[in-house]
A and B are shown apart, each in its own frame.
Chain A
Amino acid sequence: MSPSAVRRSLASRGASRAIWPATWFVLLMLCVWGFPYADGLLRVLEPDANQVVYQRASLASLLLKHLFVVSVAAVVTIVGGVLAAIVVTREWGRDFLPMVAQVASLGQTFPPVAVLALAVPALGFGTLPIIVALVLYGMLPIVRNTLGGLQDVDKDIKSAATAMGMTPWQVLRQVELPLAAPIILAGIRTSITINISTAAIGATVGARNLGDPIIAGIVNGNMAYIIQGALTIALLALTVDSLFERLQERLRSRLFTS
């Protein structure tokens, strides 16, 4: 198959898959804007409750806050995780490799609830503890994948790049990182998708996000509240996950055809 044919077949498959992010996103928007008017529908779940639509805050504002918390945690995790992995795969940082790998895997051993609870005395109630918990919890997939991706780059390719006169920095920027990019991206995808649903527990320490309706629902025994929070979070996770899938495909096809 000629390269252009490969590209075309990849593109057509991509186009058919582009439907997923759009679908999830439309459903998500439908949830966020539709629930306030779905009184009748939610009433089916809780016929006796005096209120079934969550009204303490609009789902849209909670969604934005949720996204904000997850994004801040994601930026910290990605910058920290990728940098750490790059440092320990260089010659001068190799000593720290076992330590970084261990710390990253410890991060995922610590249950986020426990981390959250331990962070509260130091950082107070609110958004900060949940960001710390998410950063710790999401570190492992990124560090593991970046390490794996960088170590998988063929030694011959690296020596070829060095032989061409590239500086170590250029080798990293132009050879290693692009080749490892699909694996790193897969790690980022896992990390963010996990954290979108983990962030909900932040509502227990006063961070306002999509976990709020869930907690309110549990406290008041109101299933309708829980559904509103849970469905929105699930759809958000699916939207982001499918977006990342598209991104991975684009990256792969670009690597494959160039």
Chain B
Amino acid sequence: MSLLDALPTPQVSWRQWRPNRVLFVLFSAMLAAVWLLDVVSVAPNRIVSGEGVGLIEAMGWMGASLVSAVILTLLALSLQPSRQGYQVVLVGVSLLLLLLPVGLMVASHRLISSDTPMARLNMGMAYWLMLSLLLLGWIELRLRLALSRRRLLLMLAGVTVVWGLCVMLGLESLALGQEFRARDDEFWRALHQHVTLVSASVAISIVLGLSLTMLMRRYTRCQKIAFGVLNFLQTIPSIALFGLMLGPLAWLAAKWPLLSQLGFSGIGWAPALLALVAYSLLPMVRNTYIALEQVSPETLEAARGMGMRNRQRFIQVRLPLALPVLLEGIRITTVQAIGLTAVAALIGAGGLGAFIFQGLGQAAMDMVLLGALPILILALIADAGLGALADILRPNDSVQSGDSP
């Protein structure tokens, strides 16, 4: 037996072959979804629920094979990943995202004839699944290619614009578009109300939260009580908090006519704003408190050694260092407020939630979608935008490539 046999043999077996399993799973799921689930559904009018249509019927053989070919190519690429391969996959995924509305156009052309103007086309289960799988694929690719969050946001914005254009120009029969065209004034007004309510409540809770944290840092004995009260507020369900504002505010408005002249009353924006602020305080105060406390004592000591006064130390050292964590608090608060404002529609504060509850009341699901989808998108935009801002503001000594899981 030669010495060579005793040495380990170099492994050139299948074990070295490492496909990207995440992308493989995602693309396989995509393929399965496209073929097995309803791609679109067609409803004769607004109230009747639609009937599902499969891939071949919706897109024809040509469209079906094109979609399958693209997904199969991506599937093959994910088996033997390399940097160039990932870039091609990124292009492919973006292409699919851009092709989605085109597919809808094809489907509407094939399925809806001109003699049924009331007919509506709805995206089916496969479409939604495809969309979320593609976005998940994007997240994975972003990690592999170490894309910055800003670039991803830019691409996402691009895709959104193309989608918006398609819906406005070529998709007369898409249910969501029809619903939008039927009440576009109302929609923009609701969006405006929603954003205004959210920004006002976040702004107020930032100011209030900061001042409350300052007070808590000065009077340490009140800390426990303050956190206890804020925690209790958070256990009250949001809809109840909105409801509980009705009575006292109506009473106040009745007592002082000046207030009611300002638009202050039991229903509408005033109770909504109050409840939103009350609900936003806990995450705000908690994060501000942690942010200010986690600044290392050595750094502050060094600042003192440099001859900084207390106020200077706070403004020039503690606050900038606390900013990323503070922004995290603002991000949580904003995302939460976007969702809660939807509930505020129940007490007449308007906003996109009004569409949701009206739609649920009339069993008109397209209208529900018109309210829910923008809320979802708003929440995602706020989440990503504020997250990117926190990334930028983070001190440069720790190199950050995206967020840590």
Contact = CB atoms under 8 A, between A and B. Distances in A.
B240 A95 contact: no
Given A121-B368, A223-B244, A114 B239 contact: no
A114 to B, nearest CB: 4
Contacts of A203: 239
Contacts of B340: 111
B368 A223 contact: no
Interface string B215-241: 000000000000000001011111111
A109 B368 CA distance: 19
Contact of A111 (B235, B266, B338, B365): B338
A211 interface: yes
B375 A114 contact: yes
Contacts of A221: 246, 266
Contact of B237 (A96, A106, A111, A201): A201
Nearest to A102: B139
B242 interface: yes
Interface string B238-276: 111111101100000000000000000010000000000
A252 to B, nearest CB: 20
A129 to B, nearest CB: 10
A193 interface: yes
B52 to A, nearest CB: 12
Contacts of A181: none
Given A95-B21, A118-B372, A233 B246 contact: no
A204 interface: yes
Given A205-B360, A218-B346, A114 B237 contact: no
A6 interface: no
A117 B339 contact: no
B369 interface: yes
B237 A193 contact: no
B97 interface: no
Interface string B288-327: 0000000000000000000000000000000000000000
Given A113-B339, A122-B125, A233-B240, A45 B247 contact: yes
Given A113-B342, A117-B372, A204 B360 contact: yes
Interface stretch (B3-11, B83-91, B376-384): B376-384
Contacts of B342: 111, 113-114
A226 B244 contact: yes
Given A98-B405, A103-B136, A198-B237, A218 B242 contact: yes
Nearest to A93: B21
A111 B345 CA distance: 14
A77 to B, nearest CB: 18
A102 B266 CA distance: 40
Contacts of B20: 95
B376 A111 contact: yes
A196 B236 CA distance: 9
B350 interface: no
A237 interface: yes
A207 interface: no
Report the contact-size class of chain B (Cβ under 8 Å from the partner).
Answer: 35 or more
A121 B338 contact: no
Given A120-B365, A197-B236, A113 B343 contact: yes
B65 to A, nearest CB: 29
B21 A233 contact: no
B140 interface: yes
Contacts of B242: 218
B235 A238 contact: yes
Could you say which of B235, B336, B357 has the most chain A C-beta atoms within 10 Å of its C-beta? B235
B209 interface: no
Contacts of A150: none
A211 to B, nearest CB: 6
A128 interface: no
Given A111-B379, A218-B346, A223-B244, A99 B236 contact: no
Nearest to A225: B243
A227 interface: yes
B347 interface: yes
A229 interface: yes
Contacts of A237: 235
Contacts of B21: 95-96
A67 B346 CA distance: 24
Contacts of B383: 109
Contacts of B365: 120-121
B101 interface: no
Interface string A87-120: 0000000011111011100101111111001101
Interface string A196-238: 1111110111000001001101100101001101100110011
Interface in B352-372: 353, 356-357, 359-360, 365, 368-369, 371-372
Contacts of B235: 193, 196-197, 233-234, 237-238, 241
B379 A234 contact: no
Could you say which of B353, B369, B373, B405 has the most chain A C-beta atoms within 10 Å of its C-beta? B405
B277 interface: no
Interface in A178-204: 193, 196-201, 203-204
B370 to A, nearest CB: 10
Interface string A233-255: 11001100100000000000000
Interface of A: 45, 95-99, 101-103, 106, 108-114, 117-118, 120-122, 147, 193, 196-201, 203-205, 211, 214-215, 217-218, 221, 223, 226-227, 229-230, 233-234, 237-238, 241
25 contacts: A96-B21, A99-B22, A99-B139, A102-B139, A110-B379, A111-B340, A111-B375, A113-B343, A113-B375, A114-B373, A117-B371, A118-B368, A118-B373, A120-B360, A121-B365, A147-B405, A200-B238, A203-B239, A211-B239, A223-B246, A227-B244, A233-B240, A234-B237, A237-B235, A238-B235
Given A99-B140, A111-B336, 13 more contacts: A96-B22, A111-B338, A111-B376, A113-B339, A113-B353, A117-B372, A121-B365, A197-B238, A204-B346, A211-B239, A217-B243, A218-B347, A226-B244
